[in-house]
Amino acid sequence: MIQIPRGTQDILPGESYKWQIIEDRLREIAANYNYHELRTPIFEATELFERGVGGSTDIVNKEMYTFEDKGGRSMTLRPEGTAPVVRSYIENKMQHDVNQPIKVFYKEPMFRYERRQKGRYRQFVQFGIEAIGVENPLIDVEVLSMLMHIYQSFGLKNLKLYINSIGDHESRKAYNDALVEHFRPRIDEFCSDCQNRINTNPMRILDCKKDRDHELIKNAPVIYNFLNDESKEYFETVKEKLTEIGIDYEVDYNLVRGLDYYTHTAFELMSDAEGFGAITTLSGGGRYNGLLELLDGPKETGIGFGMSIERLLLALEAEGIELEQPEGIGLYVCTLDDNSFNKAGTLLHELRTSGISADMDYKQRKLKAQMKDADRKRAQFVIVLGEQEFETGKVELKNMKNGETQNVQLDELVNYLED
């Protein structure tokens, strides 16, 4: 039997309403903050991620679904949304748009060849936002407040926001030099990835999953001490403004994030709900001041976050929060014999084209089974069609919520239900 690929999932019809509720909410909140949807292709030139996300990252080194197309070009299924948005920004010359900053959101499948684990999928739906074109602590705060607003709007309580500053390029460089000095003498005690990282991006060593307990990581220099005055001031303002609007956070000086493009503000939102599983990061993001130039774009800066719907669902489950199922169909038509069964199709057609959701039992089961089916479909009203109904031209409309019944003319049924 052919099976679904590892790390992917079918969203079954009985579950898809949860996704729809979340997606609607995300769109609604994005609109509140004036972010507009940007859709980019599912695959991009591999080079976009190699340069944009960074050659020293796990995403680029280990996790990309890369293939050669029939024209011999190397293509990659998008592993994240920021680099494609920036590519589109540059290509469409959005820096000349009258609306600045450019504020976009996306909600699309992403692909990463990751080890299978709870909360870690090879295809997942990432919702993300990006604000490009303004460098001001207030926009960083806007992004963070929207992030918190999303999770809080679902009633989640066990949320912990960690923030850090990676500083500007100058600060980042000074810090990287200090890390090299710190790790170099004993780098052979680290995994082979870290032995490469010391040359390509020493900050990534701090984020190593294998070596995380090494004493040198625990005593590593702290980035805050390498921030220049400008970077410190930027960070202080972000923190002040967050406090001003009542957003709780904790500073984590070891937070460097898994992608190379971050500068200044970097953050992760975690769940500390019991039973969440090992992967507790709900969302991550930050500011990327050099990314546009790195991709041959204008000297503009951006900030954003990404979050998967899969992990949001896990957080809801861990906190016992249920999403309310939408209402069922408007009317269920039961039929008693062949004649009414054959005529029911016409009635259904009329109902549906008038905007009333309706269904019937195509299997012609017994009335009791049909009533059960109506219940399962959470029908708001039920009618039973038989010889008598066609003779008198009247049906008994049963309200399934309160059990009340009412006699209605068959040819008035559509009008009645429309009201």
Binding residues for L-histidine: 80-82, 112, 126, 130, 257, 261-262
Residue 35 beta carbon to ligand HAM: minimum distance, rounded to whole angstroms: 12
Residue 77 burial (CB count, 10 A): 20
* Alpha carbon distance 171, 310 (integer Å): 35
Q: How far is the CB of 206 from ligand HAM (least distance, A)?
A: 15
Q: Label residues 295-317 b or e (16+ Cβ within 10 Å = b).
A: bebeebbbbbbbbbbbbbbbbbe
- Which residues inside 220-259 make contact with ligand HAM, applying CB under 6 A? 258-259
Cβ-based nearer residue to ligand HAM, 202 or 284: 284
Q: Given candidates 52, 54, 84, 128, which one binds ligand HAM under the rule CB under 6 A?
A: 128
What type of residue sits at position 86? V
Give the nearest distance from C-beta 334 to ligand HAM in angstroms. Answer: 44
Binding piece for ligand HAM, criterion CB under 6 A, among 112-120, 131-139, 162-170, 410-418 = 112-120
State both tokens at 173.
Answer: 């460089």
Size of the site for ligand HAM (CB under 6 A): 26
Per CB under 6 A, the list member of 23, 108, 114, 373 interacting with ligand HAM is 114
User: Is the Cβ of residue 197 or residue 398 nearer to ligand HAM in the bound state?
Assistant: 197
Nearer Cβ to ligand HAM, position 318 or 397?
318
Q: Is 49 a binder of ligand HAM (CB under 6 A)?
A: no
Q: Which of residues 51-90 bind ligand HAM (CB under 6 A)?
A: 80-82
Q: Whole-angstrom Cα distance, residue 176 to residue 198? A: 9
Residue 160 contacts ligand HAM per CB under 6 A: no
Q: Is 286 in the site for ligand HAM (CB under 6 A)?
A: yes
Cα 337 to Cα 349: distance, rounded to the nearest angstrom: 19
* Closest listed residue to residue 200, CA positions, set 179, 230, 169, 215: 179
Instruction: Yes or no: say if 1 and 76 are a contact pair by the CB < 8 Å rule.
Output: no
Provide the residue type at 244 as one letter.
E
Of the residues 124, 151, 267, 332, which one makes contact with ligand HAM according to CB under 6 A: 124
Residues 6+ away with beta carbon under 8 Å from 300: 89, 95, 132, 133, 292
Q: Which is nearer to ligand HAM, 307 or 358 (CB)?
A: 307
CB of 130 vs ligand HAM, minimal distance in Å: 5
Element (H, E) at 22: helix 16-32
Residue 32, token pair as written in the block: 């509140």
Residue partners of 1: CB distance under 8 A and separation at least 6: none
Closer residue to ligand HAM (CB): 258 or 386: 258
Q: Which residues make up the interface to ligand HAM (CB under 6 A)? A: 80-82, 112, 114, 120-121, 124, 126, 128, 130, 258-259, 281-286, 304-308, 310-311
